[in-house]
Amino acid sequence: MMEASFIHIYSKKNTDMTKFTYSLLILASAFLMACSTDESTVDPDGDGDGGSVEPVTLQLVDKSATDETKALYANLWDVQSRGMMFGHHDDLLYGREWYAESGRSDTKEVCGDYPAVFSVDFAEVMDERYLSSDLNDDRKRTIMEARARGEVITACLHLNNPKTGGDSWDNSDNTVVKGILEEGSEVNMTYKVWLDRLATFVTSLKDENGKLIPIIFRPYHEHTQSWSWWGSSCTTQEEFISFWKFTVDYLTLEMGVHNLIFAISPQIDSEGTVDNLLYRWPGDDYVDFIGMDSYHGTNTKSLATNSRNLATLSKEKLKPCGVTETGIEGVRKDGKEYTDYWTQEIMSAMYGKGVSLVVMWRNKYDPTGSGYHYYGPWIGHSSANDFVTFYESDYMLFSSDLPDMYEAVEGITVQ
C-alpha cells in the first residue's frame, strides 16, 4: 500500500522516465519521513482518487458568508486529503526582475504554471498610504486575474502604527490596541476609517459573474512575536483577543463584509506543540482557518513537527489549516544558493502531513541583483531545476491542478 501511494506522487505530471526515476530517489527520504511520522497521506489507497471524503459539517465565523465563500472553505478542507497548494506572496504583482506586468509570475516562468495560492497585503489599501501606493490598482487587477483562473487568494496586513505614524514594526507604544478598543478615542476613530477602506476594497472585488471574490483574511499575523504594535510586547492576551473580535465584528456586522475567511497565524520557528498554535486563541467561533508562519531555516524536523501539529489541531477543531508564510531569504544554505531546497526542505518536511497550503514569502523587485531578499523560485536561481521537480509532484498543487475551488463539495456542509 505504501509503495503504491508513493509511486503515485510523480505519476501524473512527469512522463519523462529518467526524471521520474530521479524524482523517486530524491524524495525517498521525504516519503519515509511522512510514513514514519504521520498516518495520513494523500491518496492512502493508492487508487488515484485522493481518498474518499467523509461527510462533515464545518462552521464559518460569518453566518452570512456568500455561497462562494462557503464553497472555498469546503474545498480548503477537502484539499488537505488530496495534496498541498503552493503559494507565493505578491507573485503576480512583481518579481525579481519585473514590476507590475500583467500575466507575469516568477513561479510560472520557472515551472510553466501559476501558484495555486496568491498572497497579497491589504495594508496599503487601508492606512494612510492608500492614496500614494503605486500598486493598489494592480492589487485589484491581479486578484481578479487569479480568481479568473480559479486560484485561491489570501491577504495579510503590514499596517502602519495608527497612533505613532510608524510602520508595522513600531512597537514603541504599548497602548495602541488599548486605544483602538476605547470607543470614541482618536485612534479608535482612525482605525475605523481604515477598516471602512478595507471593507470598500474587499466588496469591490468581484468575478466575471459579478460575485464577490472570497479572501482568506489573515490580520495581525505573527502575534506571538514582539516586533509588531499588535504583538506580544504591546498587548495583553485580553487586549489581543478583544482586538481580533472587534475587527471581525466590525467588518461582518457593521460593514456587511461577507466574503472573508478569517485566518490566525502565530509564528512558530522551533519545534513546538499543538498548544503553541493556540497562543491568544480568540475562540473557535472567531477563527476559520488555522495558519502558521514558519521561518525555521533548514530545521526540517521543526517544520515537519509543526505541520503535523497543524493537521492535528485542524482535525480537532474541524478547521482547515496551512503554512501561511515560510522560506529562507535568498534560498541559501551555508552562504551559498541551496540548489535542492524545494525537495529537501519543503517537500521532505510537509509531504503527507494533511495541510492545505504552503506560502513562500515574496521575491523583492531587485533588477540589479544587489540583494538576496527573495524566498520563492525564479529563473535566475540555481534551485530552479529542483523547483520543477517539486512542481511535477502530484502532491503539490498549482493553478492548473485545482478543482473548482468555488463550487460546493459533496459531503461537506458549511454553516
Dihedral, CA atoms, 124, 125, 128, 132, nearest 10 degrees?
A: 70
Q: Whole-angstrom Cα distance, residue 276 to residue 292?
A: 10
Over residues 389-407, mean pLDDT = 98
Over residues 63-81, mean pLDDT = 98
Q: What pLDDT, on a 0 to 100 scale, did the predictor assign at position 13?
A: 53
Q: What pLDDT, on a 0 to 100 scale, did the predictor assign at position 114?
A: 99
Cross-strand bridge partners of residue 206: 212
Give me the chain's average pLDDT, please.
91
**pLDDT tens by residue, 163-187:** 999 999 999 999 999 999 999 999 9
Q: Whole-angstrom Cα distance, residue 209 to residue 212?
A: 9
Q: What pLDDT, on a 0 to 100 scale, did the predictor assign at position 17?
A: 40
Is residue 110's pLDDT more than 70? yes
Is residue 392's pLDDT more than 80? yes
Over residues 370-390, mean pLDDT = 97
Q: Is 325 a catalytic residue?
A: yes
Confidence at 54, pLDDT banded by 50, 70, 90: confident
Is residue 23's pLDDT more than 60? no
Over residues 65-79, mean pLDDT = 98
Do 354 and 323 contact (CB within 8 A), yes or no? no
Q: Which of 25-34, 339-348, 358-367, 401-410 has the lowest mean pLDDT?
A: 25-34
Q: Residue 291's Cα: distance from chain center in Å?
A: 7
DSSP 270-318: SS--GGGGGTT---GGG-SEEEEEE--TT-HHHHHHHHHHHHHHHHHHT
Over residues 97-115, mean pLDDT = 98
Q: Is 345 a catalytic residue?
A: no
Q: Domain 58-414 classified CATH 3.40.33.10?
A: no
**Could you state, in order of their start, the residue ranges of all structural domains in the chain?**
58-414
**pLDDT tens by residue, 296-346:** 999 999 999 999 999 999 999 999 999 999 999 999 999 999 999 999 999
Instruction: Single out the catalytic residue among 124, 222, 239, 345.
Output: 222
Is residue 25's pLDDT more than 80? no
Which helix or strand (DSSP H or E) is residue 246 part of?
helix 237-249
91 contacts: CB under 8 Å, gap ≥ 6? 105, 106, 107, 114, 115, 118, 119, 362, 363, 376
Residue 58 corresponds to which amino acid?
Answer: L
Is residue 160's pLDDT more than 90? yes
Which helix or strand (DSSP H or E) is residue 25 part of?
helix 17-26
Q: Provide the percentage of residues in the chain whose pLDDT is more than 70.
A: 87
**pLDDT tens by residue, 202-259:** 999 999 999 999 999 999 999 999 999 999 999 999 999 999 999 999 999 999 999 9
Confidence at 52, pLDDT banded by 50, 70, 90: low
Name the residue with higher pLDDT: 205 or 36. 205
Q: What pLDDT, on a 0 to 100 scale, did the predictor assign at position 20?
A: 41
Task: Name the residue among 45, 36, 37, 38 with its Cα closest to residue 4.
Answer: 45
Instruction: Single out the catalytic residue among 151, 325, 345, 392.
Output: 325
Is residue 29's pLDDT more than 60? no
Quote the DSSP letter at residue 235: -
